[in-house]
Structure 1
Amino acid sequence: MRMATLMFASMVAGLLFVSTAWAADDAAINGVRFDGGDGSYKRAVDSGITFVIAADPPSTFQDNRTNSFDGADVRIFREIAKRLGITKVTWNIVPFDAMIPTLLSGRADVIVDNLHETETRLRVVAFTSPAYWYGSGIAVRRGNPLKIHAWPDFAGRTVGTLRGSINHQLLSQRKDLKDLKLYTSNEAEFADLIAGRLDVAMEDDIKISAFLKQHPTAAMQMVTDYKPLPQEYGYARYTLRKSDVDLNDAVSRALDEIRADGTLGAIISQFGYSDRNLWYFPVKN
């Protein structure tokens, strides 16, 4: 029994040493090959890579003061590129619903803005391993004068969401809305809500929280008792062409590494997430 205890303690100490050593080492992943045959990873290392994002804070955005790109997903991919030894990186920003066409046309190699993995999207693109968990929330005018708390309460209301998002897909299936308004940026969407041109805005809960934190006097609020449908939440993932298997393997491996060593958790915590968002959990309706 004592010998087993000592062996277990030795194993834990070894794992802790490995974790600490990896976290301290900011070099590329050594001794690992991603050469299944399509050459996509090698091309990224040799010739560079193009990441495409949308104006989608706090995940991805362009800082108006510096014109630099930032956000949780941007910082995650800066770390991924570094660990994979990809030194030539180009960034491109397009409307949210233009990201997949940009990828498929060859003008970008990876969609860095997180996307929900759906059957429709899987027909045309491939997804990486999971990054972090998140779900939908809803925002209404301050005081919630229309008493909107749940999915059925949208009936007869004007609802807004981001064009091309999972919420767009879900809301477009409803025939009982007064109107569905689509936006290319959350700022325009929330501005319409505040102005009374929307009854409810449906977005990722973290986007609503971030906007309210930056604009504490805005005449809108998050509906804290809203419980998203199962289709509205899940893991954030990133998107590549189906043919770029080597590159997907490399990105997914690096993503798994930074989830495991705490780097990803440290990044997302700067944008309002917590370690709770690292692991999937069901929402009970």
Structure 2
Amino acid sequence: MFSIAADVRNTLGECPLWCERTRRLYWTDIEASELLAIKEGNDAVMRWSLPERLCSFSLTEQSHILLMGLASRLAFYDLSSGLLTTVAASPGNTGTRIGDGRCDRAGNFVFGTMDDGYPVKGIGKFHRLNATTLTVETLALPDVAIPNSICFSPDSGTLYYCDSMQGRIMCCDYPSLQNQRVFTKIEGGGAPDGSCIDAQDYLWNAEWGGSRVVRYSPGGEIHSILSAPALQTTCPVLGGSSLHTLSCTSARVGLAEPTAYDGALFSIRSPFFAGLPESRFAAHKI
């Protein structure tokens, strides 16, 4: 059963990443424009305020530098000094913002853009920031309303992704983007949100509105379901020094009567599953 790892009551908690070098678990509260972190063995929450919404981010080869997917741009962020160095503007249509993102196994940052208005329209796209050239290319994948579930198989040969509005998780061969296909359809009452891959090549997905995290086999079948005390679970990550701790962010945005659990960071530890070290953005110059 999940326990509360950080009673932070985020408006829109997302994108948890484990850094094995600093033994920190980072995540963002998108609507609060804030980066948060806790260190293993210490429940004190560290916070960094940002000038705009932080929608996704990745680790880099320098432990004090993060690559940030802010609403309007990609930028390097120095955790020590607070210095932001813009890499590229958010690509795509006017009125969109950056959304979910994660590094592939080669160290390039794959991310989505989405409509920043309401109701959300399907005008977003998937993109990739090349770590060598620091240039952005738009990927030959379908347009998307709410991009999510971006993650990669351990052998780097499969990309997983979704449009949360469509109730299914997709996958394709990577990096060719060929053989685009349905990985799984969501059977519960929630929508697919963030995902991660474990060491056994199983996919963990948090269901927005479903109060649960679901583990899928490489063939897309449900292997196990973990119930969560928050309605809107947003993204899981496997971390901790042994990579046996599953943590999950959640959100309280849009809830008329949120509970004390909505918006918290949850965790559960088990010897029966293990994660993989997070891929880092592989730029040579930062």
What TM-score, normalized by structure 2, do the two folds share?
0.30
Higher Cα Rg, which structure:
1
Report which of the two has the higher share of strand: 2
Relative contact order, CA 8 A, sep 6+: which one is greater? 1
